[in-house]
Structure 1
C-alpha cells in the first residue's frame, strides 16, 4: 500500500466528481418532468452536450479513483468522496453563484473535520486478500436487491424522502463498486490484466463494476430530477464511504479498529459529515422552472454555462 500515491489521486478524483456533479444537477433540473423522475427525462439528459461533458468528467474521476484504490485501502480512500461537497460549493461560486456564507464554511469544517478524524482513527490498514467470487456475488446481489426494494417502497412518497432514499441507495452502489475495483486491481496485480476475463475472481468483480456503475449513475440522475439535493447528496455521501468501509473490512479483510472508543468516534465523524453535508447541499436560491414553479438550485451557485 502506498498512501503517498493513493491519497492525492483519491483527492483529485473527488475534485473532478465535485465539479461534474454541479453541472449534472443543473442540467438534470432543467430537463426534469415537473420535479418528477422519469426515463424520458433521462433520455433528454443523454442528448445534452454539457451533460455528456459532465459524464466524461465522471469517467476521469473514476479512472483517478481506480489508481487510488489500486495503491491504497478502500477504508482509507473511499471516505475521501465526501470532499465532493466542499468542492461543489467552491465550483458553484466560481461559476457565478453566491458567495459562501459563514454557515457554509462551518459546513466545510464539519465535513473536513469528520473526514480527518475518521482517517486518523482508521490508520493505515493493509490487505492482500481477494474474496472468493461467490462472496462477491452474494454481496452485490444483496446490495442491488435491497436497493431496488427501497426505491420501489418510496416511489409514491414526497420529494424529500425519495431524494434521500435514491441518494443513499446510489451511494451504497458506488461504495460497493469501490470494493469491486479494489478486488479487481488486486487480481490484475497478481495475475495480469487477462485474469479479469479468464478467472472467476477477476470476472465477477469486473461484471459487478459494470452493473453497479450503471445502476448507480441512473439512480443518481433520477435523484437529481427529483430535485431535493439537500437530502440526496448528504445521504449519498454518507452511504458511499460507509458501505466501502463495511465491505472493505468484511470482504477484503482490511483492518478496522472496533474498540468502543473507535466506534463512538466513527459515529461522531459520520454525524459531523452528514451535518456539514446538509448545510453545504441546501438550496442557495430558487430558480424558476418552465411551469412557473421553482426548483432548488445546485449547491454554491445559480448560474451555469449552457
Structure 2
C-alpha cells in the first residue's frame, strides 16, 4: 500500500486542526472579556469571519482524517496528529503576532525529528479495512473501561495537574477509538455507499466516542494546567492508536534492534511536547492565559 496519500491527508488534517485552533482563538480574543460570560457569546463569534473560517478548518480536518484513515493504516495516520500542537504554535506566531523563543523552536524541531525517526524505524504497515467482532469486543470493552476509570479517578481529585492528566488520558482513549471505528466506517462508505455507511454499527460507534472525546477535552482543559492535559492527550492518542491498530486491524511495526531508534524518537517527542505545553503561547491558545500572546518563553 502506498503510504504517501494517507500521510499527506493526515498532515493536512493536523494542519487544519492547528489552523482552526488559532483562528478560533483569534476570534475569541476579539470579543471583550466581559462578553465571554454572556449567553450570546456564540452570536458574537458568528459575526466574526475569522471564527467562521476556523469552523471551515475544523470540517476540513475531519475530511482529511477520514480520507487518511480510509487509505492508510491507523498506526501511520494517528501518530502524525502529534504535529498538531507544534503546527498550532508556529501558525500562532504569524496570525497572532506571537513570538517563539529559541527553546520553543528547539521543542518544535524535537517533535518533528522524533516523529520522523519513530515512524521510519517502526515502518508501520497493514492493509486490513475491517476487523472481526472477536477483535472489536475486547478493544471496546477495554477502552470504555479505561475511560470510565480515568473519569472516576479525575472526579475524585481536586482541580490541578492530576485531574487534568486523567481527563486528558480519557480524551486520548476516546479519540483513538473514534479513529479506529472511523476507519471501518470510511471503507464501508467507499464500498457500499451512504446506505451501508448509515447501517454499520461502527458509524454510530465513532459518533458516540467522538462526542465523548469532545466532552472530555473540555473537562481536561478546565481541570488544570495545559502542561498536564496536553501531553496526556497528544501522547496518549498516538500510543492508544498504535495499540488499536495492532490489536484490532492486525497492523504491525518492526521490532528487534529497530526498537532502539523508535525509543529515541519517542523520547524526543515526549520532551518536545512537554516543553511546548509549558509555553505561554500554548496556554494562550487554549484560553488558559488570555492575554500575552506575544510571549513565547516558558
The structural deviation recorded for 1:65 is 0.6
Matching of residue 217 in structure 1 with residue 214 in structure 2: yes
Matching of residue 108 in structure 1 with residue 104 in structure 2: no
Matching of residue 11 in structure 1 with residue 11 in structure 2: yes
Counterpart-to-counterpart distance in 2, 1:224 and 1:129: 34
Contact 1:128 1:186 in 2 (8 A): no
Number of the residue aligned with 1:184: 185
Counterpart-to-counterpart distance in 2, 1:299 and 1:31: 12
The structural deviation recorded for 1:171 is 1.5
The structural deviation recorded for 1:103 is 0.5
Counterpart-to-counterpart distance in 1, 2:248 and 2:194: 21
Number of the residue aligned with 1:291: none
Contact 1:284 1:299 in 2 (8 A): no
Matching of residue 271 in structure 1 with residue 267 in structure 2: yes
Contact 2:10 2:64 in 1 (8 A): yes
The structural deviation recorded for 1:83 is 0.9
Instruction: After superposing the two structures, state which structure 1 stretch, 275-284 or 104-113, moved more.
Output: 275-284
Matching of residue 126 in structure 1 with residue 126 in structure 2: yes
Counterpart-to-counterpart distance in 1, 2:226 and 2:54: 17
In structure 2, runs of 5+ residues without a counterpart are none
Contact 2:118 2:262 in 1 (8 A): yes
Contact 2:110 2:268 in 1 (8 A): yes
In structure 1, runs of 5+ residues without a counterpart are 33-40, 289-294
Contact 1:104 1:280 in 2 (8 A): yes
TM-score when normalising by structure 2:
0.81
Counterpart-to-counterpart distance in 1, 2:292 and 2:81: 18
> Would you say how many aligned residue pairs link Structure 1 and Structure 2?
282
Residue 285 to residue 212, structure 1, CA distance change in 2 (3 Å) = closer
Q: Secondary structure of 1:8's partner?
A: helix
Counterpart-to-counterpart distance in 1, 2:265 and 2:289: 27
Question: CA-to-partner distance for each residue in 1:69-117, whole Å, 9 max, x for gaps?
Answer: 1111111111110111111111221233431111011101210011101
Which residue, out of 233, 237, 243, partners 1:236? 233
Is the helix fraction higher in 1 or 2? 2
The structural deviation recorded for 1:187 is 3.2
Residue 223 to residue 52, structure 1, CA distance change in 2 (3 Å) = farther
Residue 159 to residue 255, structure 1, CA distance change in 2 (3 Å) = same
The structural deviation recorded for 1:209 is 0.6
Residue 286 to residue 100, structure 1, CA distance change in 2 (3 Å) = closer
TM-score when normalising by structure 1:
0.79
Counterpart-to-counterpart distance in 1, 2:79 and 2:53: 25
Number of the residue aligned with 1:297: 289
Residue 22 to residue 114, structure 1, CA distance change in 2 (3 Å) = same
Residue 122 to residue 134, structure 1, CA distance change in 2 (3 Å) = same
The structural deviation recorded for 1:195 is 2.6
The structural deviation recorded for 1:137 is 4.1
Counterpart-to-counterpart distance in 1, 2:152 and 2:22: 27
The structural deviation recorded for 1:298 is 7.5
Residue 87 to residue 195, structure 1, CA distance change in 2 (3 Å) = same
| Correspondence 1:1-306 to 2 at 5 A | 1-22=1-22, 49=46, 54-123=54-123, 125-133=125-133, 135-155=135-155, 156-198=157-199, 203-226=200-223, 228-259=225-256, 261-284=257-280, 296-297=288-289, 301=293
